[in-house]
Amino acid sequence: MPPHHRNAPPLWLLIALSALGVLPLNMFVPSLPSIAKEFDAEFATVNVAVAGYAVITALTHLIAGALSDRFGRRPALLVALLVFVIGSIGCFFARSIEVFLACRLLQGSAIAGYAMSLAAIRDTAGERMVSQIGYVSSAWAIAPMLGPSAGGVIDSWLGWRANFAAFAFMGIAALCLALRYLPETHHHRSTAMSKQLGGYGQLLRSAQLWAYGLCMAASIGTLYVFIGGAPAVAMQAYGTSAAMVGAYMGLVPAGFIVGSFTLARCGQRWQPIQFIVAGRLLTCAGLLVGVALAVLGFAHPLAFFGPCVCVGLGNGLTMPTANSRVLSIHAGFAGTALGLASAMTAIGAGAIAFAAGLFVDESHPRTALLAAMSTTSLLSLGIAVFIARSERRQRCIRSQPD
């Protein structure tokens, strides 16, 4: 791992770029009905602005990671921010649903802010890499928590287009700050794009990459299952109001913040795999408590949402650490590896959420949802244990005398 670099980017800038990378996902969601009404479009069509955005972010991870290994972190980020600004301005001026959705998809390039921040940390942070990724990941959780509230206020005051004016302003500000304060951190770039394309094949043959990617996919998949089913549980099982549903669901990302902040403070005390296994054990234990409370008949909403906080806590320990390990798999393809693992995570988590939706029984949503979440969390724990054993075996092999 490289030593700490004196010319490292300021951490506050990496945190801001990471927040911008995820804020556009849901900040404008309160405006979806207004957008559908203005364009006289079906709500399902307008919802492509959310689902399509998620797909584009997965593609952005793949493309930006490889380009950053070839041309550098700074150029890849600047181009991505410029595309984001263009997309935001296009959404603001759109006069048809087709133009709006096309420009909305361009906004997916913003996720490069998160990817390039992690790659820059890998290039410069040395032994502090896990801790710094923990701080960046805290912001990555805070932004989606606050985004819908801010977007709703902006919509109510100025209309839905004002949200996209805000995105354009934030993108321009990020572009200016990156030009001023973000140095190039990747100084061992490949000499040809063909080498980067070859890196995809090399990484896809890496059992380590697949193990970390699948562990993250199962971890985030557990969260997606919760997000998809928790509102139905709250309203059907407890008769909870929409406002209280939002408050209860906010406990889980709050748990992620606590977990990632704990990792940031204690990241150098344990081995990375220990944090990953601890995060998966914590998630499984919390969901087991939730199952027990359901079996015993506890009917308060906190009997369901309280144990689910461990999903956030566990992911806060797991995701930043797993990303740091992915970045260390191959020094020459750090960005490419992160892009591949991120795409695996997004696709795998989406598939898990879709499958869970087919099996969750609406007549007993609480029990079915907890069962689905427990299954995916146990899967992630099993993969984490496999990684731990593999790394222990590799350390034993390296320690043996020739």
Evaluate if residue 215 carries a pLDDT over 80.
yes
State both tokens at 288: 């087991």
pLDDT band, residue 400 (cuts 50/70/90): low
Query: How crowded is residue 397: how many other Cβ atoms within 10 Å of its Cβ?
Result: 8
Q: How high is the pLDDT of residue 4?
A: 47
CA 362, 367, 371, 372 torsion-angle sign: positive
Which of 162, 189, 216 represents a domain boundary (last residue)? 189
Q: Indicate whether 6 belongs to any domain.
A: no
Identify which has the larger pLDDT, 229 or 5.
229
Gap between the Cα atoms of 8 and 27, Å rounded = 30
Return the pLDDT at 59: 85
Neighbour count for residue 188 (Cβ, 10 Å): 10
145/119 same-domain check: yes
Choice between 300 and 236, residue whose per-residue pLDDT is larger: 300
Number of H helices, E strands in the chain: 17, 0
354-375 average pLDDT score: 78
* Residue 56, CA atoms < 13 Å, CB-side half-sphere: 26
Helix axes 129-158, 301-327, angle to 10 degrees: 130
Q: How confident is the model at residue 196 (pLDDT cuts 50, 70, 90)?
A: low
Cα 222 from Cα 32, distance rounded (Å): 26
Residue 5 belongs to some domain of the structure: no
Question: 25, 144 in Cβ contact below 8 A?
Answer: yes
Maximum mean pLDDT: which of 235-239, 261-265, 303-307, 391-395: 303-307
What b/e string do you get for 346-357 counting C-beta neighbours within 10 Å, with b at 16 or more?
bebbbebbeebe
pLDDT the model gives residue 237 = 64
The number of distinct structural domains making up the chain is 2
Residue 195 lies in a domain: no
CB 287 within 8 A of CB 226: no
- What pLDDT, in 10s, does the model give residues 274-319? 899 999 999 999 999 999 998 888 878 888 889 999 999 999 999 9
The pLDDT value recorded for residue 360 is 66
Same domain, 118 and 29: yes
Residues spanned by the domain of 322: 202-399
Of the candidates 168, 189, 210, which is a domain's last residue?
Answer: 189
Q: Specify if 61 maps to a domain.
A: yes
What distances in angstroms separate CA 292 from CA 231, 278, 366, one per listed residue? 21, 21, 12
Confidence (pLDDT) at 401: 63
Give mean pLDDT, residues 336-358: 82
- Give pLDDT, residue 285: 96
Instruction: Give yes or no: residues 118 and 89 share one domain.
Output: yes
Q: Which of these ranges, 113-117, 228-232, 252-256, has the smallest mean pLDDT?
A: 228-232
Indicate whether 313 belongs to any domain. Answer: yes
Quick one: 141 and 275 in the same domain? no
* pLDDT for the residue 243: 61
In a domain, 197, yes or no: no
Pick from 70-79, 109-118, 223-232, 253-262: least confident: 223-232
Q: What is the mean pLDDT of the chain?
A: 83
pTM for the predicted model, two decimal places: 0.76
- Which pLDDT does position 361 carry in this prediction? 62
Taking the alpha carbons of 153, 136, 245, 236 in that order, is the dihedral positive or negative? positive
What does the pLDDT read at residue 3? 44
Same domain (yes/no): 165, 258 = no
What is the pLDDT, as a whole number, of residue 399?
Answer: 65
Mark which of 189, 224, 247 sits at the end of a domain: 189
Co-location of 179 and 306 in the same domain: no
CB 318 within 8 A of CB 220: no
Does residue 4 lie within any of the structural domains?
Answer: no
Shared-domain flag, residues 276 and 353? yes
Q: At residue 166, does pLDDT exceed 90?
A: yes
CATH of the domain at 303: 1.20.1250.20
Same-domain status, 235 and 351: yes
Same-domain check for residues 16 and 57 = yes
Please state, in angstroms and rounded to a whole number, the distance separating the CA atoms of residues 290 and 220.
19
pLDDT-above-90 percentage for the chain: 28
Same domain, 174 and 210: no
49 and 147 share one domain: yes
Does 258 lie in the same domain as 183?
A: no
- Rounded Cα gap, residues 62 and 59, in angstroms: 5
Please check whether residue 215 lies inside any domain of the structure. Answer: yes
What does the block give as tokens for 379? 């899967």
When mean pLDDT is compared across 137-141, 181-185, 398-402, the lowest value belongs to 398-402
